[in-house]
Amino acid sequence: MKVKLGEEKVHQFRRSWDLRPDPLDRNNPYHPINIDTYKEIPIDRIPDTESLKDTYERVLKFYKQEIENKISNNNILVSAHGNSIRALCKYLFKLDENQISKLEIPTGNPLLINLDKDNKITECKYLDQERAKDLVVF
């Protein structure tokens, strides 16, 4: 995509809040509707394109329904794609649209987040400090 659209445009798609790339043609073999892994998902629920804002809405709904109420006195491990993790961090760190565009999350470096009884962050650190990125001040 960098060759086709240029590095700056790809960076915009990867880091913007509500900018969506052009929709992927449904005949494209890389479209999720053409990949066996996604066959159990109804076609009308698979988007042709999405922004971080779209991902945020999907992730936040899942987080509130399936995770948030289970945190108290439990250890919860969340493993996900980078944009899903960025969306969750936007919510947990209360980031605005500009701040989220600057958030870098290193691949494969677990981020330990401790929460209080009100689900407010009390501590946050990467487990591998040598590969840690700057954390958002909370």
Decide if 106 contacts 131 (C-beta within 8 A): yes
Range of the domain at 39: 1-49
End-to-end CA distance of the chain: 35
Token pair recorded at residue 106: 């290193």
- CATH number of the domain to which 138 belongs: 3.40.50.1240
Q: Residue 136: what pLDDT?
A: 61
pLDDT attached to residue 37: 96
Looking at the fold, whether 115 and 69 belong to one and the same domain comes out as yes
What whole-number distance in Å separates Cα of residue 98 and Cα of residue 138? 15
> 133 and 68 in one domain?
yes
CA–CA distances in Å: residue 115 to residues 5, 28, 64, 75, 118: 41, 43, 15, 10, 7
Together in a domain, 45 and 56: no
Shared domain for 22 and 81, answered yes or no, is: no
CA atoms within 13 A on the CB side of 49: 11
Cα–Cα dist 33/27, whole Å: 9
- Together in a domain, 60 and 85: yes
- pLDDT value, residue 106: 85
pLDDT tens string for the chain (138 positions)? 889 888 998 888 888 899 999 999 999 999 999 999 999 999 999 999 999 999 999 999 999 999 998 888 789 999 998 889 999 999 999 999 989 888 888 888 899 999 988 888 999 998 888 887 666 654
Q: What is the per-residue pLDDT for 135?
A: 66
